Amino acid sequence: MFLDQDIAQVLVSQTQIEKETKRLAAEVSNDYKDKYPIVVGLLKGCIPFMSDLIKHLDFHLEMGFMDVSSYHGGTESTVDVKIEKDLSMPVKDRHILIAEDIVDSGRTLNAVINLLRSRGAKSIEVVTMLDKPEGRKIDYKPKYIGVSIPKVFVVGYGLDYQERYRNVPYVGILKPKVYET
């Protein structure tokens, strides 16, 4: 691909993504058979992962989307989440499975979980393709994790650098020259 030339190192290949996605889908399918959950994708990073995942989910579900941006102002432990786009359905008494691209500090997820809990969701779990456990500022462990990676900035498979590279089909590290231009 043309975009390959900006990538210094592939961290998670397409083959590995496919394998882990199927493994996660089997686990989730086992747990959600009779729960008719809302699978909530956090835009825009969730798109490739959620799209691949749901094709292997063998139970009834609804899809929902939220777009949230977090402002880490004030103290380290607080986060204000601005809802750019809210869910279009009520979550009261519903099982919620949040689909994320990556969990780093855990702040975004924490805020979204608190919000959905306050609205009366019956259960809230998270399925994430990537996890950066070393980045955690809030003690939270997603129930379903694809691949754990070290504390490096990655792009691809939904993850962006200045809104670019989301369409790269694998997860990689950018070449330093990309940040210079």
Binding site for Mg ion (CB under 5 A): 45
Query: Of 112, 68, 69, whose CA–CA distance to 91 is shortest?
Result: 112
Which residue in 52, 97, 40, 45 sits closest to 69, CA to CA? Answer: 45
CA 179 to each of CA 102, 131, 161, 169: distance values in angstroms, whole numbers, following the listed order: 21, 23, 9, 20
37 binds ligand 5GP (CB under 6 A): no
The only residue of 45, 64, 146, 172 in contact with ligand 5GP, by rule CB under 6 A? 45
CB of residue 82 to ligand 5GP, shortest distance in Å: 13
Binding segment toward ligand 5GP, per CB under 6 A, in 13-21, 53-61, 82-90, 148-156 = 148-156
Residue 9 is encoded by which pair of tokens? 């190192």
Per the structure block, which two tokens stand in for 13?
A: 């290949």
Nearer to Mg ion, 36 or 153 (CB): 153
Please state the closest distance from residue 135 (CB atom) to ligand 5GP, in A. 6
Beta-bridge mates of residue 80: 71
Task: Work out what residue 14 binds among Mg ion, ligand 5GP, none; the CB cut-off runs from 5 to 8 Å by kind.
Answer: none
User: Which listed option, Mg ion, ligand 5GP, none, makes contact with residue 153 (CB within 5 to 8 Å by class)?
Assistant: ligand 5GP
Binding ligand 5GP by CB under 6 A: which of 21, 66, 105, 126?
105
Question: Given strand 123-131, what is the order of strands in its sheet?
Answer: 80-85, 62-71, 38-42, 95-103, 123-131, 144-148
Contacts to ligand 5GP by CB under 6 A: 45, 70, 100-109, 153-155, 159-161
